[in-house]
Amino acid sequence: MKPTPLTIAAVVAVVLTYIRVIFFTPLEALQGPAQKILYVHAPAAWVAFMAFGLVAVASVLYLWLREDRLDRIAESSAEVGVVFTTVVLTTGPLWGRPIWGAYWTWDARLTLTLFLWFIYAGYMVLRGALDDRATRARYSAVLGILGALLIPFIHLSVYLFRTLHPQPILMKPSAPSLPTEMLTTLLMAFASFTLLYVALLRARYRYAVTRDGAHPPEGHGAQ
Amino acid sequence: MRELLRDAWLIARKDLTIEFRTRSAFFSAVVFSLLAIVIFYFAWDATAVAAIDLAPGVLWVIFTFSGLLGMHRSFGVEQPDRAIDGLIASPVSRESIFLGKAIASLVFIVAVQVVAIPAVGLFYNLPLSGVALPLAAIALLAAIGLVAVGTLFSAMAVNTRLAELLLPMLALPFFVPIVLPAAQATARLMSGRPVGDAVAWLKLLIAFDIVFVVACTLAYPYTLEE
């Protein structure tokens, strides 16, 4: 598969962002270079949530409209989401070790992210364990919807274990609590990661189309 | 609504009759629970950690896994000769098939709890008599949530290539918001705190039960259609 202009643009945007992160963004006074991991961690988390949100939306729409395309979107978005969740779960401990003194704590957000990873890893295993395309689409849509319903419950139950995670920097009622230079870099990282997500989603979707075209559904149960 | 419940009860009775006549799953789940109680006792230093600190966790881990054992059978019994096709063809709604299966599993889990909770109290020497009623309420609320989610995933998992492996993989993340509040509430009660201390956790359990009983009942028909 040749890289599309979108993929190239996404990769270039990410590379430019990290050139800025490494060479043109000041060091944080207390945390030093460790703080720069924020520019990977936070946008990856944003993309993961967006990806799983799209899985839920595509799943509901699939059960309603029965469009194969919607199933392929859910499939692609879940897979890309798991990749970004893995990035979140890897970069977090790398930062946590020098700053918190521990790779892992059972903080509400960490636990929630870990369970997101479990839910959608299960989602991918379920897909792999089903051969019939229509059954696979229906089952995974059901799991995609229930998974989205579960998230607030996990969040509520683990929230009662006091949270240690840094509080929101951008999405909060008062003004963002970052110096302008760092804020610009962070916003660039969010934008380039979103672009990367769209590019990966499209590439994964095109793969699903090619695959389904190569193995046309046989007989009953696959209309 | 009345018809739905009547049909559900018919299906639950069918499953319970099968279970009562063979007693295979119930017996193995009870023995499994007792074994787990024993194994857990030797898995920690009893001179360093008091039994009362570990008992709530032990109790809920046991219920989770023995529940999975029973739930796997829920749709497993319909696999030979594709008996599920007979159920689908019969003049009952698909929602009542789900509710019937869930009721049968609920009876199964409650029966295991009736044996396992006193056994934990006995083996770990816990003061259970004073908290019996609130503890029973927690156990029932938790069992409803476990059964709603477990029954739906059991229906899906039996049709996959990985049946036994897939059910725990799909269901366990969903059991977190059940096991966590249930174990916390149990711990509060066992350490002699007033029932009011456990109310927040109970509310969470009730909310989970309502949301997932409704969601799973509505989702079940989508796992059937051919």
pLDDT tens sequence across B87-118:
888 888 888 999 999 999 999 999 999 998 88
Question: What is the token pair recorded at A21?
Answer: 């992160």
For residue A171, the model assigns a pLDDT of 60
- Number of compact structural domains in chain B: 1
Instruction: Specify if A169 maps to a domain.
Output: no
Per residue in B13-53, pLDDT (tens digit) is 988 888 888 877 888 888 988 998 888 888 877 777 777 77
| Cβ contact, residue pair A138, B181, below 8 Å | no
Instruction: Specify if A217 maps to a domain.
Output: no
Instruction: Specify if A192 maps to a domain.
Output: yes
Q: How far apart are CA A76 and CA A87, in angstroms?
A: 17
- Does the structure show a pLDDT above 80 at A160? no
Question: What is the token pair recorded at A159?
Answer: 């929230």
**Chain B contact probe: residue of A111, A117, A150, A161 with most B CBs at under 10 A:** A150
Range of the domain at A45: 36-163+176-211
- Number of compact structural domains in chain A: 1
Please give the model's pTM, rounded to 2 decimal places: 0.85
Range of the domain at B57: 2-223
Instruction: Specify if A43 maps to a domain.
Output: yes
Instruction: Specify if A115 maps to a domain.
Output: yes
Residues 6 or more apart from A52 whose CB is under 8 A from it?
A77, A78, A81, A116, A120, A147, A148, A151
Instruction: Specify if A151 maps to a domain.
Output: yes
A11 touches chain B (CB under 8 A): no
> Which chain B residues are closer than 8 Å to A141 by Cβ?
222
Q: Please tell me which of the candidates A122, A130, A149 has its beta carbon nearest to residue B211.
A: A149
Instruction: Specify if A41 maps to a domain.
Output: yes
Q: How far apart are CA A165 and CA A205, in angstroms?
A: 34
Of the candidates B160, B156, B173, B167, the residue with the CA atom closest to the CA atom of residue B216: B156
Q: How far apart are CA B36 and CA B26, in angstroms?
A: 15
Per residue in A44-101, pLDDT (tens digit) is 999 999 999 999 999 999 999 999 999 999 999 999 999 999 999 999 999 988 888 8
> String of b and e for B36-61 (b: at least 16 CB within 10 Å)?
bbeebeeeeeeeeeebeebbbebbbe
> How many CB pairs (< 8 A) connect A and B?
76
For residue A223, the model assigns a pLDDT of 39
- Chain B residues contacting A via beta carbons under 8 Å: 149, 152, 156, 159-162, 166, 169-170, 172-174, 176-177, 180-181, 184, 200, 204, 207-208, 211-212, 215-216, 219, 222-223, 225-226
A149 touches chain B (CB under 8 A): yes
| Cβ contact, residue pair A149, B215, below 8 Å | yes
A119 touches chain B (CB under 8 A): yes
Residues 6 or more apart from A11 whose CB is under 8 A from it?
A3, A196, A199
Instruction: Specify if A117 maps to a domain.
Output: yes
Centre a 10 Å sphere on the Cβ of residue A18 and count the other Cβ atoms it contains.
18
Q: How far apart are CA A173 and CA A168, in angstroms?
A: 10
Q: What is the dihedral of CA A97, A103, A107, A112, to 10 degrees?
A: 130
| Cβ contact, residue pair A115, B176, below 8 Å | yes
**Chain B contact probe: residue of A62, A142, A151, A160 with most B CBs at under 10 A:** A142
**Distance in Å, alpha carbon of A147 to nearest chain B alpha carbon:** 8
Question: What is the token pair recorded at B110?
Answer: 């409650």
